[in-house]
Amino acid sequence: MSGKDFNEISRRGILKGASALGVMGALAPSWLGAGAARAAVADGEVITGSHWGVFHARVEGGQWTGIRPWEKDPHPSRQLEGIMDSVLSPSRIKYPMVRRAYLEGGPGTSPETRGAGDFVRVSWEQALDLIAGELRRVSETHGPTGIFAGSYGWMSPGKLHNCQSLLRRMLNFGLNGAFVNASGDYSTGAAQIIMPHVMGTLEVYEQQTVWPVVVEATDVLVFWGADPVRTNQISWTVSDHGNYPYMEAFRETGKKVIVIDPWRNETAQFFDAEWVPIRPGTDVAMMLGMAHTLHEEELHDAGFLDEYTTGFDLFLPYLTGESDGVPKTADWAAEICEVPAEKIRELARLFQSSRTMLSSGWAIQRQHHGEQSHWMLVTLAAMLGQIGLPGGGFGLSYHYANGGAPTANSIVLPGMSDGGGAVDGPDWLNASGAGSIPLARVVDMIENPGAEFDFNGKRAAYPDVKMAYWVGGNPFSHHQDRNRMVKAWQKLETVVVHDFQWTATARFADIVLPATSAYERNDIENVGDYSAIALVAMKQVIEPVFEARNDFDIFADISERLGSREAFTEGKDEMAWIRGMYESAATQAPARGITVPSFDDFWAAGIVEFEIPEENMQYVRYGDFREDPLFEPLGTPSGLIEIYSKNIEKMGYDDCPAHPTWMEPLERLGGEGAKFPFHVDTTHPPARLHSQLCGTSLRESYAVGGREPCLINPADAEARGVTDGDIVRVFNDRGQCLAGAVISDEIRPGVIRISEGGWYDPAPGGEVGALDIYGDVNTLTPDIGTSKLAQGNCGHTVLADFEKYQGDAPAPNVFMAPAEV
């Protein structure tokens, strides 16, 4: 990608894809019979939005035939090419389906047959009666902790059809909140817990020093485990892609960019950056080596540390080795991270002598002891003394949803209320007596009812869950240690899933309901997670395919069976809710000094845009704090940056000390007793959003031999007798999967890369330990918490081995719907 223009790449690819999609519409698969996918308008274009941006859907003769990116999108994502195919995919869920054994024998019958694809088609009435009856039975038999509804996943954008809020709303009104919830997420499980202790805020989902300031003032831009050129294609709401023009502008300045990562990622290629191929999982050690250099050479900013931080004096004995006899020198760090000691010293001096922005990704905290990574990054930035200066300091969201794109003066839409019963932590009980768990510990919960666990200073016991209700997510993709999960799932009596494609999660359910995609219903959403540059009318493109229904209507009908329909709907239909959300947001306009159109005018236009004030083009994170720490304190107990946390000290955790610390992970390259020779880098995929769009034609653009690609260094491939395009078996003592070999010197020796999000496709039978045919990397990863503090996931702590697969590899089966009965 280096040296090419973003717009040239994206628009050429999108137009090519739109043309292909037009052909696909004319030559639709045979199962798309007459009336299967009728359009909401007969002819013309419909504006709508997605995680990949705003676009116009072309409709001809009542059929969806193409996609055109919004003309004001500065960098349309090529992933838009997969959207229409996802709606019209052979993996589409057409009808309500029930696992045969469950239908014949009732809850808990033959759970080992989950995943075998043996489903029976039922009517909507029968499916909804089954679900409502089971909700009542589990609630009455097992009490408020019997149902798990902490459903998680990226779902679809849209304020009304937030299926996870709708699920909890249904249970709050229909069962008086009698369900178990979850807190946190898989993206930032460790960081979002440690950062409030260090900086007094979540940090990971907050505005950064804006890109115009970075372009102007930053001399050295460091991407540490971050790949914004790849990951900014997507957003939680509707993507604005606002960072891409600024990344181009920074590249044009010719200023220095450094990428610290085990592979030379897309960002390194785009900027032609200096690549520092660190050994995975050793970031804290490298940062400590740099910090020691700064202190030893008296390059640290003692004045900044004295005025804006607390606890450096308590951290210093550890850094120098006074407290444990091990000075954290660059030479010590080099032995661990395999970055030469002189390079570590050179980088420390460079960062100190230049205005440096340390932009970190989230991969470095999705590791065992992941809390330490961002804590140490902040400590390093504090020693450099540039936090709060234009272009200096650190940022944890430049790679996510276009963090750093300047914020417009806009109105902000309210979300759909879940009815008030949701809880936030493990031992906060709602009115029904149910509680919450750290999200990534869901399998622990199922396996170990009654077992105690720690979480951020609290201790609680896991509930005894009998039923899981999952919407808008694919835990059989994003959760770790797939075989452990398959086995644990067998303990559940009932699993209900809503989706529009036959993901592995749907295949391992008992009752599967066909939900609409975002393009078969109406909704409304902000454009730009950070920029809030516009509001878009997410207009329905086509009528629901086959028997699909939207989640709002599904939950309304379940609520009716539970006697709570009126409370759930408040007497409003889809468009009344959308109108109300817009009109509520519009009341903010006078205070902001802006005018907005009426709802009817907005809906007719399809989008309303907002201006970016000049002051927002100059925003510097922590600038106010630096100017006056007394009157602009942080949200920490001290009001300062806490390099040493007395609150964490009081918790007394053996796996999370009170200051940043290098702690040996469960397993790593070079670690004592490592059982397998390769680290598996589980990066974000290039052409999908986690597992979304895996079941589309986009897969053909990256799959190798029909499998998820596996990037391998030439030296490692030669040692294993593997050549480009071979099918390899990747394995450890947790599981095994197939993948397609891609030989490249853009990944360091000792590391192989399989992107997360590949659809789990166990060999026929779906039994525990089965070979995954397609390439779900989470068959290999460990399911452990980062520490007792955050209990985040450790998807980037994984060692394995690989070999050339012998014989004829079985064909993937997961991208076709199970046979209908």
The one-letter code for the residue type at 515 is A
Is the CB of residue 385 less than 8 Å from the CB of residue 252?
no
Tell me the HSE value of 428 on the side-chain side, using a 13 A CA sphere: 13
Query: What CA–CA distance (Å, rounded) separates 144 from 140?
Result: 8
Contact, 281 vs 367, CB < 8 A?
yes
Tokens of 97: 């389906």
Contact (Cβ atoms closer than 8 angstroms) between residue 797 and residue 679: no
Rounded CA-CA distance 482/537 in Å is 38
| Residue owning tokens 């009435």 | 125
Instruction: Tokens 């570590």: give the residue.
Output: 344
CA 36, CA 666: separation in Å to the nearest integer?
Answer: 51
Q: Which residues contact residue 591 at a Cβ distance below 8 angstroms, ignoring those fewer than 6 apart?
A: none
Q: Report CA-CA distances (Å) from 779 to 154, 741, 757, 769, 783.
A: 21, 18, 11, 9, 10
E strands in 261-322: 274-276, 309-310
Return the SS3 of 398. coil
The answer to whether 355 and 217 are in contact (CB under 8 A) is yes
Query: Residues 431, 436, 441, CA angle at the centre, nearest 5°?
Result: 165
Q: Are 157 and 518 contacting, i.e. CB atoms less than 8 angstroms apart? A: yes
- Phi first, then psi: give them for residue 633, nearest 5 degrees: -70, 160
Choose, from 52, 154, 244, 774, the residue flagged as catalytic. Answer: 154
* Residue entry with tokens 């604005």: 240
User: At a CB cut-off of 8 Å and minimum separation 6, what does 186 contact?
Assistant: 152, 366, 439, 440, 478, 479, 792, 793, 795
CB 436 within 8 A of CB 776: no
3-state secondary structure 531-588: CCCEEEEECCCECCCCCCECHHHHHHHHHHHCCCHHHHHCCCCHHHHHHHHHHHHHCC
- How many of the other CB atoms lie within 10 Å of CB of 649? 14
**Nearest partner of 394 among 342, 351, 346, judged by Cα:** 351
d(CA 152, CA 576): 27
Which residues make Cβ contacts (< 8 Å) with residue 324, sequence separation at least 6?
A: 318
Give how far the C-alpha of residue 404 lies from the chain's centroid of Cα atoms, to the nearest Å: 18
Say if residues 231 and 240 touch (Cβ distance below 8 Å).
Answer: no
CA 543 vs CA 81, 403, 709: distances in Å? 20, 35, 36
Output helix, strand, coil percentages for the chain, rounded to the nearest 5: 35, 15, 50
Count of C-beta atoms within a 10 Å radius of residue 281: 31
Contact assessment for residue 751 and residue 762, using Cβ atoms and an 8 Å cutoff:
no
Catalytic residue flag (residue 152): yes
Q: How far, in Å, are 191, 411, 589, 601 from residue 592 at the CA level?
A: 33, 8, 5, 20
54, 532 contact by CB (below 8 A) = no
Listing DSSP states for 77-123 in one string gives: -GGGGGHHHHHT-TTB--S-EEEHHHHHH-TTS-GGGTTS--EEE--
Q: Catalytic: which of 64, 95, 102, 152?
A: 152
Q: Residues with catalytic annotation?
A: 152, 154
